[in-house]
A and B are shown apart, each in its own frame.
Chain A
């Protein structure tokens, strides 16, 4: 009964963190096994936000399912529908007009900046830097205003269509984006001043959550988390889509393999996204906004109201949808969290036979146990923050 004779394993304490915890970025449930102040094991319980997305897809026509993907990763609501559109376009062999592809790139990169800003805001807030939260949300509002100008929505948009976009960008869009490009670098400087050389920030992030390149690859980690371990893999560079090969951009890397390294990578990624947006705005081509393909392009309303055949075709397009040829395809894009892939199986009907979504957050969450072993209990929030997960994405 003497305390000194008790084996250390028996003194380990299990505590539950979440699903209601402000620092788990949603409804993540962690079971921490503690040895004193140190973490000896982390078990993740997911599924608190499981909405059955893949099953919903099987019961809806393609264009009916289009509003759903942006509710998976709601921090960057334009990247998920873009990936779905690209998958279906690949399946049906539709070529997207260049203007539409460029607009997609501009909006996707703005989405990436908005997502990284929210990551920075919450990551800093978890560690204790409240000011950065307020600053980052200010810039995020500027991006959301641009989205609202183009699509009418702030976080969920339903703007992309199979074969292009819903409508052209409004007048003054490029000027608005240019204003943002002009303003943003000085705001980035503000964050750097507050964090990059801040002693507390360095103590809380350096050598915390070490993930070696080998482990990262073995766990299937992608995105900034992988590049923070020094692995040069970016889907935009390896398998370019939507005209990404036309832009001059660098892939930021860090060999630090820790939370601080991933912080530096994400900051640099925002700068590189800004470069892409700048180039896309300068070279924004004129032309159509949706592919001239009768399967996906609706006839004009004036023609539909004055011509019987066109009206019938209009009704059929809306009611029956379109049917991609039978077969299967996989298409992946670089989402702000990592590689996002859609694997589509079609049986030639207007509804997908099977739609498997390869979400980046779920796989990025996998090495959490490995990364947090031996660290103090206060470091777990820094490690969850650096993985940049979003629970809608994890649970589907």
Chain B
């Protein structure tokens, strides 16, 4: 077609497939809208007007089928583990897990009969976010860390 003829002669970029994949994955990490407890409110605050996660390409999706990241935001109880695993298994690969707050990382202040002492007993956690609750800045920093982690991944090339 006339529009694209001779347009690429000076604009050819050479890169690897891994870099393109990682670039695409880091630029559109879509977390699942999934709150458990107090941390979910800070997660909402991070997503809303003042802190605005959209500028990182992070847009919350309500269905696990469209999500790349699951943010475990809040206290995980023993009763809640099966639904979490169900949701996690519904997410397509590649997927990442962020454990937000002390409850999701270690059980936090709730060392009781009903609370799971850290979601990493059930899910492969990529980033742990400290705090009770973590401030929105902390959550943003952790997501940027996750972006760095994704950038270093190899899908095609052997390490």
**Chain A residues in the interface with B (C-beta under 8 A):** 19-20, 22, 26-27, 47-52, 55-56, 67-68, 71, 74-75, 118, 121, 133-135, 137-138, 140-141, 144, 154-156, 391-392
Contacts and interface: CB of A to CB of B under 8 A. Distances in A.
Given A26-B35, A26-B40, A391-B37, A51 B48 contact: no
A71 B38 contact: yes
Given A19-B83, A56-B110, A155-B41, A133 B33 contact: no
Name the prevailing secondary structure of the B interface residues.
Answer: loop
Interface in B6-43: 33-38, 40-42
Contact of A52 (B34, B112, B132): B112
Interface stretch (B73-81, B92-100, B121-129, B147-155): B73-81
Contact of B79 (A48, A75, A155): A48
Given A137-B44, A140-B45, A156-B132, A26 B80 contact: no
B133 interface: yes
A138 B132 CA distance: 22
B31 to A, nearest CB: 12
Given A133-B48, A138-B49, A154-B135, 6 more contacts: A19-B83, A47-B77, A51-B77, A74-B38, A74-B133, A134-B49
**Complex A-B, nearest 6 residue pairs according to Cβ-Cβ distance, in ascending order:** A74-B38, A52-B112, A137-B48, A134-B49, A22-B33, A51-B110
11 contacts: A20-B87, A22-B33, A47-B79, A49-B75, A51-B77, A51-B110, A52-B115, A71-B37, A75-B41, A137-B48, A144-B45
B87 A49 contact: no
A74 B37 contact: yes
- Interface centre among B64, B79, B109, by most chain A C-beta atoms within 10 angstroms, is B79
B114 interface: yes
Nearest to A48: B80
A52 B113 contact: yes
A140 B107 CA distance: 28
B112 A56 contact: yes
B140 to A, nearest CB: 14
B89 to A, nearest CB: 12
A50 B132 contact: no
A74 B41 contact: yes
Contacts of B33: 22
B158 interface: no
Contacts, number: 87
B139 to A, nearest CB: 12
A262 to B, nearest CB: 21
A84 to B, nearest CB: 15
A101 B77 CA distance: 36
Contacts of B112: 51-52, 55-56
A391 B77 CA distance: 13
Contact of A50 (B49, B79, B135): B79
A137 B38 contact: no
B48 A118 contact: no
Nearest to B87: A20
B136 to A, nearest CB: 9
A115 B41 CA distance: 11
B141 interface: no
A155 B114 contact: no
B80 A49 contact: yes
A361 to B, nearest CB: 13
A19 B82 CA distance: 11
Contact of A49 (B34, B36, B42, B84): B36
Contacts of A51: 75, 77, 110, 112, 114-115
Given A52-B112, A74-B37, A27 B62 contact: no
A96 B37 CA distance: 32
Contact of A155 (B38, B50, B87, B113): B38
Nearest to B36: A27
Nearest to A391: B37
Given A47-B79, A51-B112, A141 B38 contact: no
- Interface centre among A27, A52, A68, A392, by most chain B C-beta atoms within 10 angstroms, is A27
Nearest to A46: B79
B8 to A, nearest CB: 40
Given A52-B115, A137-B45, A155-B42, A19 B80 contact: yes
B49 A137 contact: yes
B36 A26 contact: yes
B80 A154 contact: no
B100 to A, nearest CB: 13
Contacts of B38: 71, 74, 155-156, 392
Nearest to A26: B35
Given A51-B115, A137-B48, A154-B135, A22 B62 contact: yes
A19 B34 CA distance: 9
A138 B52 CA distance: 11
Given A27-B36, A55-B112, A48 B77 contact: yes
